[in-house]
Amino acid sequence: MARQPRFTIPGIPQHIIQRGNNREPCFYTEEDYLRYKSNLLDAAKKNQAIIHAYVLMSNHVHLLVTPQHAHSITHMMQDLGRKYVRYINHTYKRTGTLWEGRFKASLVDSDAYLLTCMRYIELNPVRANMVVHPGEYSWSSYTCNATGKMDSLIQPHPLYTALDKEPKQCQFAYRELFRTHLASDQIHAIRDALNQQLVLGRDDFKDKIEEMTQRQTRPKPLGRHRVEEGGTSYYLI
């Protein structure tokens, strides 16, 4: 069966996840994280993809990226994969795949979910009980978005800069968002959209994307299976 193409619309952000093969590490030392960031920056610039948030966990990565062209993200991830996997295999004298198949991505309704998705990404180390506060984790975009620390990977999304005209106040407003936990329904919505590679957003946004792409943006309803038993037919739902 042919693989379903990803939703890719220039100018609309995507939440991306890529996991290490068999959930094994894809980073071992500080140098590996730095090399990945360098390779990602080169690939993003080359393919005109704008990165708004990221977190590099030991065995997976999350990125929030706005593509400028239809193939920006696919080509960015391909270029990144070739360089980084070659580096890891050479450094650690290993062979074979590093990543668990293709990366997954979901289209993000900016007005409703962009800042929520940024928080979800940057709170990953907290949910994993690696740190108490996202600012304690070295390999995410939090300190850039929340405190203004220079990070060449990050280009602010217009909705982020709209938090306030002054950069310091914008950073303060962003930090304030982290005073409350993400609601469980928000976390489930983000995960469901990402795992099924669908669309994260409101119904009117999903309707718009369906009209643009002629593709379904919502999970398919559960199938019905007909069962024959004792001369009686019924359906399992």
What residues are paired with 99 via a beta bridge?
20
For the entire predicted model, the pTM comes to 0.90
Q: What is the mean pLDDT of residues 151-171?
A: 97
**Helix (H), strand (E) at residue 168:** helix 167-177
Q: What is the mean pLDDT of the chain?
A: 91
Residue 43, Cβ density class (10 Å: 0-12 exposed, 13-18 middle, ≥19 buried) = buried
Segments of 44-196 assigned E as strands: 49-56, 60-67, 104-108
**Distance, first Cα to last Cα, the chain:** 24
> Taking 80 as the threshold, does the pLDDT of residue 187 lie above it?
yes
Confidence category of residue 218, pLDDT binned at 50, 70, 90: confident
Query: Three-class SS of residue 34?
Result: helix
Task: In whole angstroms, give the CA distance from residue 224 to residue 23.
Answer: 33
Query: Residue 47: CB partners within 8 Å, gap ≥ 6?
Result: 69, 71, 72, 73, 75, 76, 79
The hierarchical CATH code for the domain 14-236 is 3.30.70.1290
